[in-house]
Amino acid sequence: MDLITVGLVLTAAVFHTAWNAIAKGTGLSLATLWCALALSSLLGMPYFLATAEAVSTRGMVLLGVSACIHSAYFYTLARAFAAGPLSLVYPLARGGSIGIAALGAVIWLGELPSVLGSLGIAVVILGVLAVAQGNNGTVTASAGRSGPDDSDSGAASSRASLPFRKGPVLFWSLLSAVLIAGYSLVDKVALNHFSPLRFMIAMVGGTCLVMSPYMLARQRSAISAVVRRYAWRILAIAVAYYLAYGLVLVAFERALAGYVVASREVSVVLSLALGWFTLGERPGPLRWLGALLIVGGIALFSLSGR
């Protein structure tokens, strides 16, 4: 990838890590994310209506598929946040998607990375495995209890230290990884039928609509609590989400999907730092080593060119 594309993806990583940390910190992740999606839809609607353009049937189908995959992703992400800390969930979910997306890009899109690019992806995956093997045992309650099963009580949890089990964290995080890889590949193809910004707005709105029946039936009290307590956080997530995903969509037009998906995983390093400073998490040396491997892998395939 060229340096401009690398810059776009790394900037997107900053915004992406930020909205994840903000959502995690509320203790009401799923309701917070849905409210942010709804607000994002409203913010993007004027531009979407002002730039109306014809879309093919194939483009509409891809949009619908992307919205469904994103909806499942937000649910599994919230469940993962309920099960464990950001510094474990985020590396597993984001990093785990690299190998899946790279393989899918070869099979579905016919994108063959170079030898150096393939080596870089392999190093990133090795780093993710190191992060996954890092310390576990306890996490502050506010950092580790924020999913859909317990959020409907409408109460954010305290910051007491609580144990967590790796099994549920691994399951929900890796399921999120599969969904991340899936929507990344679908979105790459969908951009042949949409401009990046219009697709992003339509995808966000579609995801919100797909999630709405469940949210309004099962999460009303959590939604009310989030709106009362975290209005500014909802706005911050909405803006950061647009910036993060919008920059990635532009990058998709400039480089191979496998490289873009892998490059933005520098956010794994940021998630460890944010988990430490804002959520009271204490990732151990092995997770930090894994984070450095991820950065090294990114450097390899960034130097490999397109």
pLDDT, one tens digit per residue, over 226-283 is 999 999 999 999 999 888 878 887 887 887 766 776 677 778 788 888 888 888 887 7
Residue with tokens 């040396």: 285
How far apart CA 9 and CA 297 sit, in angstroms, is 15
The DSSP output letter for 51 is T
Tens-place pLDDT, residues 226-235: 999 999 999 9
**CB of 162 within 8 A of CB of 141?**
yes
How far apart CA 162 and CA 19 sit, in angstroms, is 24
How far apart CA 208 and CA 227 sit, in angstroms, is 16
User: 252: closest CA among 177, 197, 205, 303?
Assistant: 197
pLDDT at position 144: 41
**End-to-end Cα separation, the chain, in angstroms:** 5
Q: Which residues pair with 162 in a beta bridge?
A: 139
pLDDT at position 303: 65
Q: How confident is the model at residue 66 (pLDDT cuts 50, 70, 90)?
A: very high
List the domain boundaries for the chain. 3-302
Which positions ≥6 away from 259 have C-beta within 8 Å? Answer: 1, 113, 117, 301, 302, 304, 306
Q: Is the pLDDT of residue 299 over 60?
A: yes
Q: What would the two tokens of residue 203 be?
A: 């995808």
Q: Is the pLDDT of residue 300 over 90?
A: no
Q: Dmax of the chain from CA atoms? A: 54
pLDDT at position 209: 97
Tens-place pLDDT, residues 5-17: 888 888 998 999 9
At 269, is the secondary structure helix, strand, or coil?
helix
How far apart CA 34 and CA 144 sit, in angstroms, is 19
Tens-place pLDDT, residues 160-173: 445 567 788 889 99
**CB of 226 within 8 A of CB of 30?**
no
| Angle of helix 57-83 versus helix 3-26 axis, rounded to 10 | 50
Q: Is the pLDDT of residue 151 over 80?
A: no
Which positions ≥6 away from 281 have C-beta within 8 Å? Answer: 85, 86, 87, 139, 140, 143, 275
**CB of 249 within 8 A of CB of 107?**
no
pLDDT at position 137: 45
User: 142: closest CA among 223, 85, 194?
Assistant: 85
